A and B are shown apart, each in its own frame.
Chain A
């Protein structure tokens, strides 16, 4: 009987293809997605993100379940149409953004891993774009998933039949997608900015949530005192106002609206603030490189 033989293959050079910058960027984005949800990390890193997703989706499942039991989905009875659902998930999305942005940027700096990125075929801009893309993807998914569940759940219990309901209400899918994108940009950009300057995840999340939460009442007080232009500082209110504009709804009175601004102004504020945020973050990372 032949005995086992151990072959010392020594060091093998990599003779295959190298994907360069494209491959590095793709790996960076995938790593970001895994990191936010704590995948391939300790159990405790998974608890918060999945708990928040569950909290965001559960109401949609609940309304669908009621529909299944009652045999029909009664939107007016539940008071929760798609526009209102944005208001429900908005606060949870803030917490999710705070944690996700901090998780994406802070550990790389505190653990010194930026030195590894600096030795790979990636520019500073690539690194930040990769992290921002991961953040955008998870936050967009977080915001849009409940609407998809709600929409197809309604279609499932619709007396008109699934197909007819989907075809008749198809505009809801793109409207909610667009609304989710607006919320994503408006919430994720400031979270990214704060995370870029923080040395601890808890501090980053705390500062972001504090600023976003306090901006509403502060802005309201200033508008009430007659400083209407400062209605634009109500950071949390811009995406809701734009969402109502997109969906043709009016779920509440938004501060920029009270201050006399049109919804497109809120959209412009979001766009300008996001561009400025990214420029500041790039400058911060280039200076510390």
Chain B
């Protein structure tokens, strides 16, 4: 499948502060996570995708269109949910959605129909005639999400969609994001909450200091490759035996983390414990999380 976003040597700086250092990136269709700490370059990358910033160097293509040459065509097929506020408080949700759809290029009749459909989809149908200034944070986030998809884009850019939401609101928002895939809408979800990305996305792009740490399928990043073992007796003796059998072992109290580059770590644990005659309390695979990879500088997994 054709990539949704392709960036080649993409660089951008705010004065002397370099935000992106020659980023090369190819993002497939689907739900894509864009993770990184504050200042990693996530929002800058999103604004470059929208064409509201011009790169100092390099090229960027969205849905097969070069942003520099066809920015309006790109924007007609892209939706954007900004991190900050974007809703006029003195307009009703229904009116604003119709307007947002028209701004996306939809004729008035289609805009009205889609505004109604999308507000129902995000659970704001009952609130559609309320002024948005009266909305709670959760309703505001859902209205922001609605305006991003009301003109039926092929790609939607969601900047911190769960920001400020309580746990229940967070779950609802993540469910909405997950459903984009079934609607046939690609999404790039920018977040520094790694568990949100793990829950919703199939592919993850990790940014750090304006550089791409990783760009890979989430399944590839979070394979079970390490086991965790909790022993009943002396962990030092077990660790020594495991190392002797070729495993890499780290010890933390009575817990051992074991990697075995040349084979199945479960088998080596079984053999060593049987040989020593030691008991164990718990044995299980340790799933590599995005957090592990991120804190490890993107080299794990």
Contacts of B89 in A (CB 8 A): 111
When A40-B92, A42-B131, A115-B80 are in contact, do A16 and B107 touch as well, CB less than 8 Å? Answer: yes
Instruction: Fill in one digit per residue for B96-131: 1 if any A CB lies within 8 Å of its CB, else 0.
Output: 000110111111001000100100010000000001
Q: Which residues of A contact B100 (CB under 8 A)?
A: 116, 120
Q: Interface segment, B10-18, B69-77, B197-205?
A: B69-77
Taking a contact as CB atoms under 8 Å apart, the answer to whether A19 and B105 are in contact is yes
Which residues in chain A, 107-123, are within 8 Å of chain B measured between CB atoms?
Answer: 107-108, 111-113, 115-123
| Cβ contacts under 8 Å, B186 to chain A | none
Q: B33 at interface (Cβ–Cβ under 8 A)?
A: no
Bitwise interface map of A from 88 to 128 toward B, beta carbon under 8 Å scored 1, else 0: 00000000000000000001100111011111111100000
Q: In the assembly, what is the distance between CA of A112 and CA of B96, in Å? A: 14
Question: Within the complex, which residue of B87, B90, B147 is in contact with A45, where a contact is CB–CB below 8 Å?
Answer: B90
A120 near B131 with CB under 8 A, answer no
Nearest chain B CB to A129 CB, angstrom units: 14
Does B76 lie within 8 Å of A121, measured CB to CB? Answer: yes
Which residues from chain B contact A118 at a C-beta distance below 8 Å?
50, 52, 80
Give the A-B contact count at a CB cut-off of 8 A.
114
Residue A169, interface by CB 8 Å: no
Residues of A within 8 A of B110 (CB): 14, 16
Listed in ascending order, the chain B residues whose CB lies under 8 Å from chain A are 50, 52-53, 71-73, 75-76, 78-80, 82, 84-92, 95, 99-100, 102-107, 110, 114, 117, 121, 131, 147-148, 151-152, 157, 179, 182-184
A-B CB proximity, top 10 nearest: A119-B80, A27-B102, A14-B152, A11-B183, A121-B72, A115-B82, A18-B105, A120-B103, A112-B85, A121-B76
What would be 25 A-B contacts, judged by CB atoms less than 8 Å apart? Answer: A11-B183, A11-B184, A13-B152, A13-B183, A18-B105, A20-B72, A23-B102, A23-B105, A23-B107, A24-B102, A27-B103, A31-B99, A40-B95, A45-B90, A107-B88, A111-B85, A111-B88, A115-B80, A115-B82, A116-B82, A116-B103, A117-B103, A119-B157, A120-B105, A121-B73
